[in-house]
């Protein structure tokens, strides 16, 4: 079997040799792209038009000169001048025929692009506060981040996935308080439950569990709890903070138990939910450890040494305006407590110190104003902020009965990721989440997603895979034996179209990695499935002459492999039967 030669790089090298003769002085970048129309060849090159101005020559004339200088090649059928000066290159079928065996032989390595070069990359995503179940908004970040991590891995990066656990902030205190108040209700204490505390039933469940385990051990009287607390109607947040302060004072060391219980419970739930969704992490990084280990002090000190921190009104400020932010930011409040921002600075400095050449954060689009601040802080600490890339994911807006549904965790009125998965299935959920590019708002129509509709694109792709499996199972042979098939017999238009499509997979993976856009994989798979279905209807596989049968089975075996790997990147299963 002749070794497979990538047609694109082959053509690029032919053109380069030709250009050395025609335009050695002003070698342009050689661009080869796939024309939309088959009549324009397999690849088109616009180099003549780019050169025409510098060389003061008519582009069509230049193109003619380039074509005349092209070295002989067994793979090139012909080269034509077209339109204003395109060079359209037509390849012989032989250029593609070897692809099937090549792809099958390479296996998982076939999709492996080359942009990554083993570079260490960290991707942090989801990182939702562990204060309640994940909702459908978190689901998009989870699906996007996990798919992107897979894309990067396939493209040759050394990827680490991390979840930042906000276990130290006010939100956790509110959850602990909410749980305790529900617990007090079970103890028979008449305490008003604040409207801005966590309303969800899971809070009551945790309270009931604590009550069952410890009975009235954490009971305090309603009067003590409400002591000195401002009226909720006048100052709702102050009301909450005063209740938290009372809880800490009244419970003493026991407060840590309630807090810890709620945290473990919710984090465990989140972890299970994500694992079931096919989303896993290598590390779970605790915000609390930043406070305890003194990393925040160190981070602020580091910025101070570079002269970017000052004191005003008793608070410590970071001069972020010096780094393009619109106003300076507080890092340590008047009350001596560090802000969330300060912890985040320490966290990002820590990420850099862990040896990643690139750090990727996946954030909700509402955090966009936060980017200059964090980047500025990294610069202020003397680090290269360009190593941090923030991928913003727009909101997934949920529609129920044609109406927007609320997704606030505190109000308790949201559709959980778990509910969504249960209703539409993991495959459809994962696929739909990444079908839109991340900058695009995602309208998730629950009713539509719930209805088991047949026009579902994920089924279309899975069906292509199942169809191949069906043929392969009827055949019953060993896949590896097909590698010796005579692929020169693959001449039908549908066969060649499929071969060309398969050849695009590695460059598609590279593009998806470069653009941080897993959705291009989804669109590629739709195209690949369409080519397979086209072939399936046009050609028979099993009841043809043995050599042709082998060649066609080789082709669909390679296609199956790419379908499976591609779906795997998106976290979608590739069923053998449907």
Interface positions, 453-492, toward RNA (CB under 7 A): 454-457, 459-460, 463, 466-467, 469-471, 474
Q: In terms of CB distance, is 196 or 221 closer to RNA?
A: 196
Least separation in angstroms between residue 577's CB and RNA is: 4
Q: In terms of CB distance, is 79 or 210 closer to RNA?
A: 79
Map residues 375-414 to x or -, x wherever contact with RNA holds by CB under 7 A: -----------------x-xx-x-----------------
Residues 285-314 that bind RNA (CB under 7 A): 312-314
Q: Which of 19, 66, 86, 138 binds RNA (CB under 7 A)?
A: 86
Phi-psi region of 134 (alpha: psi -120 to 50; beta: other; left: phi over 0): beta
- For 227, half-sphere exposure in the C-beta direction (CA atoms, 13 angstrom radius) is 10
Residue 409 in tokens: 């965790």
Residues 154-193 that bind RNA (CB under 7 A): 166, 168-172
In three-state secondary structure terms, 283 is strand
Q: In terms of CB distance, is 163 or 341 closer to RNA?
A: 341
Got the DSSP string for 392-446? EE--EEEEETTEE----TTTT---BHHHHHHHH-HHHHHHHHHHS-TTS-EEEEH
Least separation in angstroms between residue 136's CB and RNA is: 15
Residues 321-340 that bind RNA (CB under 7 A): 326, 329-330, 333-335, 337, 339-340
The size of the interface with RNA (CB under 7 A), counted in residues, is: 87
Q: In terms of CB distance, is 162 or 495 closer to RNA?
A: 495
> Looking at residue 253, what DSSP letter applies?
T
Using a 10 angstrom Cβ sphere, with 0-12 exposed, 13-18 middle and 19 or more buried, the burial of residue 408 is: exposed
78 near RNA (CB under 7 A): no
Least separation in angstroms between residue 4's CB and RNA is: 25
Got the DSSP string for 40-94? G-SEEE-HHHHHHHHHTS-HHHHHHHHHHHPPP-SSEEEEEEETTTEEEEEE-TH
Least separation in angstroms between residue 190's CB and RNA is: 28
Q: Are strands 283-286 and 120-124 parallel, antiparallel or unpaired?
A: unpaired
Least separation in angstroms between residue 483's CB and RNA is: 20
440 near RNA (CB under 7 A): yes
> Looking at residue 115, what DSSP letter applies?
S
Least separation in angstroms between residue 223's CB and RNA is: 28
CB 133 within 8 A of CB 262: no
Q: In terms of CB distance, is 46 or 199 closer to RNA?
A: 46
| Cα–Cα dist 371/382, whole Å | 17
Map residues 32-61 to x or -, x wherever contact with RNA holds by CB under 7 A: ---xxx-xxx--x-x--xx--x--------
256 near RNA (CB under 7 A): no
Give the helix/strand (H/E) hosting 149. helix 136-154
Residues 113-132 that bind RNA (CB under 7 A): 129
């Amino acid at each position: 079997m002749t070794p497979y030669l990538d047609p694109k790089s082959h053509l690029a090298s032919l053109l380069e040799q030709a250009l050395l003769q025609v335009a050695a002085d002003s070698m342009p970048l050689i661009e080869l792209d796939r024309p939309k129309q088959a009549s324009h060849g397999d690849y088109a090159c616009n180099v003549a038009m780019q050169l025409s101005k510098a060389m003061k020559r008519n582009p069509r004339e230049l193109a003619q000169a380039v074509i005349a200088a092209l070295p002989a090649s067994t793979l090139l059928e012909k080269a034509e001048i077209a339109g204003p000066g395109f060079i359209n290159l037509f390849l012989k079928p032989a250029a593609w025929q070897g692809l099937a065996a090549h792809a099958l032989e390479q296996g998982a390595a076939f999709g492996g692009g080359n942009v990554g070069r083993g570079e260490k990359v960290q991707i942090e995503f989801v990182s939702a506060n562990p204060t309640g179940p994940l909702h459908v908004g978190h689901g998009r970040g989870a699906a996007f981040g996990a798919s992107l991590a897979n894309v990067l891995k396939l493209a040759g990066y050394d990827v680490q996935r991390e979840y930042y656990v906000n276990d130290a902030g006010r939100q956790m205190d509110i959850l602990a308080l909410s749980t305790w108040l529900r617990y007090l209700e079970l103890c028979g204490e008449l305490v008003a439950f604040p409207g801005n505390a966590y309303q969800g039933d899971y809070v009551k469940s945790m309270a009931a569990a604590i009550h069952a385990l410890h009975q009235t051990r954490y009971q305090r009287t309603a009067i003590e709890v409400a002591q000195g607390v401002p009226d909720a109607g006048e100052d709702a947040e102050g009301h909450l903070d005063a209740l938290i302060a009372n809880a800490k004072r009244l419970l003493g060391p026991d407060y840590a138990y309630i807090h810890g219980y709620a945290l473990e419970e919710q984090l465990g739930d989140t972890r299970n939910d994500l694992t079931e969704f096919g989303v896993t992490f290598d590390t779970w990084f605790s915000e609390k450890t930043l406070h305890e280990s003194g990393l925040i002090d160190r981070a602020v000190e580091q910025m101070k040494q570079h002269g970017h921190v000052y004191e005003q009104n008793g608070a410590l400020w970071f001069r972020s305006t010096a780094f393009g932010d619109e106003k300076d930011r507080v890092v340590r409040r008047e009350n001596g407590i560090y802000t969330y921002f300060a912890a985040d600075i320490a966290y990002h400095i820590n990420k850099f110190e862990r040896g990643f050449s690139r750090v990727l954060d996946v954030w909700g689009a509402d955090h966009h104003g936060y980017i200059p601040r964090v980047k500025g802080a990294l610069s202020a600490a003397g680090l290269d902020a360009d190593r941090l890339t923030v991928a913003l994911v727009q909101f997934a807006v949920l529609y129920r009965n044609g109406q927007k549904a609320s997704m606030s965790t505190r109000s308790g009125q949201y559709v959980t990721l778990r509910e969504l998965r249960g209703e539409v299935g993991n495959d459809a959920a994962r696929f739909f989440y990444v079908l839109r590019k991340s900058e695009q708002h995602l309208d998730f129509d629950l009713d539509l997603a719930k209805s088991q509709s047949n026009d579902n694109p994920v089924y279309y792709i899975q069906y292509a895979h199942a169809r191949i499996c069906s043929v392969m199972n009827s055949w019953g042979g060993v896949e590896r034996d097909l590698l010796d098939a005579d692929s020169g017999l693959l001449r039908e238009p549908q066969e060649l179209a499929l071969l060309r499509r398969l050849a695009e997979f590695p460059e598609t993976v590279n593009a998806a990695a470069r653009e941080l856009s897993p959705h291009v994989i989804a669109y590629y798979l739709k195209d690949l499935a369409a080519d397979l279905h086209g072939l399936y209807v046009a050609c028979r596989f099993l009841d043809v002459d043995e050599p042709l049968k082998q060649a066609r089975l080789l082709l669909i075996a390679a296609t199956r492999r790419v379908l499976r790997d591609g779906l795997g990147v998106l976290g979608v299963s590739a069923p053998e039967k449907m």
